């Protein structure tokens, strides 16, 4: 199983993030993953986050071998054509080290949509429409960008099936009591094609990390959502 790492720009400024990613590269981690939010408080941080693809481009220049990914780019945040351009730019700058992780975004009346409401960003109210938007974004990226792996972060069986049918992989939150169901649905929908199964867990959640091995995942993403100076 590959071991990846995720750091938070809602807790750390760029120089500290780059130092941490360079250390992760030296230590042999496979991929580092970048958040896609506006407000660092959404992940318990104390500052606005760095824009996802701007940060990925900077990390691509500052590193040489570690792979880079978005976990996950919210399809609510960008027009599909802009997402494709941003992903393609990151893929080119990194010389093919990028994986596009995307997600459907939260419902309009949930705490996770607060940063969108405050900024006047409309959210599709119907879950089916948000899921269809994920498929649309994948189609646009496939049609206009250089080839790159695309994975979907899921929190429902329905979206897991979409990941199996339309993407190259799935990501699950390992602390979810339904993570095994989501993974099974994605694997069944993917059939025999190559399909990357990953899960994320906080760096200090050893129980969830153990679950990654129990589920037979291809990769474990250890998320460090705190100041790296602590």
Q: Token pair of 189, please? A: 């929908």
Tens digits of residue pLDDT in 71-122: 999 999 999 999 999 999 999 999 999 999 999 999 999 999 999 999 999 9
Q: CA 198, 67, 230: angle at the middle one, nearest 5?
A: 80
The CATH code of the domain that includes 211 is 3.20.20.30
The answer to whether position 229 is within a domain reads: no
Residue by residue, DSSP assigns 103-115 as E----TTSGGGHH
Per the structure, the complete domain to which residue 87 belongs is given by 2-224
| Sole residue written with tokens 């792996």 | 149
- pTM for the full predicted model: 0.97
Query: What's the Cα-to-Cα distance from 216 to each of 65, 70, 73, rounded to whole Å?
Result: 26, 22, 25
Tens digits of residue pLDDT in 160-219: 999 999 999 999 999 999 999 999 999 999 999 999 999 999 999 999 999 999 999 999
Contact (Cβ atoms closer than 8 angstroms) between residue 193 and residue 206: no
Contact (Cβ atoms closer than 8 angstroms) between residue 3 and residue 198: no
The answer to whether position 62 is within a domain reads: yes
List residues bridging with 70 in a β-sheet.
34
Tens digits of residue pLDDT in 47-74: 999 999 999 999 999 999 999 999 999 9
Q: What is the mean pLDDT of residues 7-36?
A: 98
What per-residue confidence (pLDDT) applies to 230? Answer: 80
The answer to whether position 230 is within a domain reads: no
The answer to whether position 204 is within a domain reads: yes
Q: Tell me whether strands 98-103 and 73-74 are parallel, antiparallel or unpaired.
A: parallel
The answer to whether position 15 is within a domain reads: yes
The answer to whether position 186 is within a domain reads: yes
Looking at the 3D structure of the chain, how many domains does it have?
1
The answer to whether position 13 is within a domain reads: yes
What per-residue confidence (pLDDT) applies to 107? Answer: 95
Tens digits of residue pLDDT in 153-177: 999 999 999 999 999 999 999 999 9
Contact (Cβ atoms closer than 8 angstroms) between residue 127 and residue 197: no
The answer to whether position 45 is within a domain reads: yes
């Amino acid at each position: 199983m590959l071991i990846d790492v995720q750091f938070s720009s809602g807790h750390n400024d760029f120089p500290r993030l780059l130092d941490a990613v360079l250390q992760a590269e030296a230590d042999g981690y496979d991929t580092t993953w970048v958040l896609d939010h506006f407000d660092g408080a959404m992940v318990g941080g104390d500052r606005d986050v760095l824009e996802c693809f701007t940060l990925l481009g900077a990390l691509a220049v500052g590193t040489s071998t570690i792979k880079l990914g978005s976990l996950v780019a919210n399809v609510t945040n960008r027009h599909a054509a802009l997402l494709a351009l941003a992903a393609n730019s990151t893929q080119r700058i990194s010389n093919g080290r990028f994986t596009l992780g995307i997600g459907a975004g939260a419902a309009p009346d949930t705490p996770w949509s607060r940063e969108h409401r405050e900024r006047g960003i409309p959210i599709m109210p119907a879950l089916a429409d948000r899921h269809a938007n994920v498929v649309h974004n994948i189609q646009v990226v496939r049609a206009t960008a250089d080839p790159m792996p695309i994975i979907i972060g899921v929190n429902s069986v329905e979206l897991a099936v979409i990941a199996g049918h339309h993407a190259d992989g799935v990501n699950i939150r390992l602390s979810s009591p339904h993570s095994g169901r989501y993974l099974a649905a994605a694997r069944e929908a993917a059939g025999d094609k190559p399909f990357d199964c990953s899960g994320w867990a906080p760096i200090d959640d050893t129980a969830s990390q153990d679950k990654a091995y129990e589920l037979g995942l291809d990769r474990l993403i250890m998320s460090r959502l705190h100041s790296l100076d602590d």
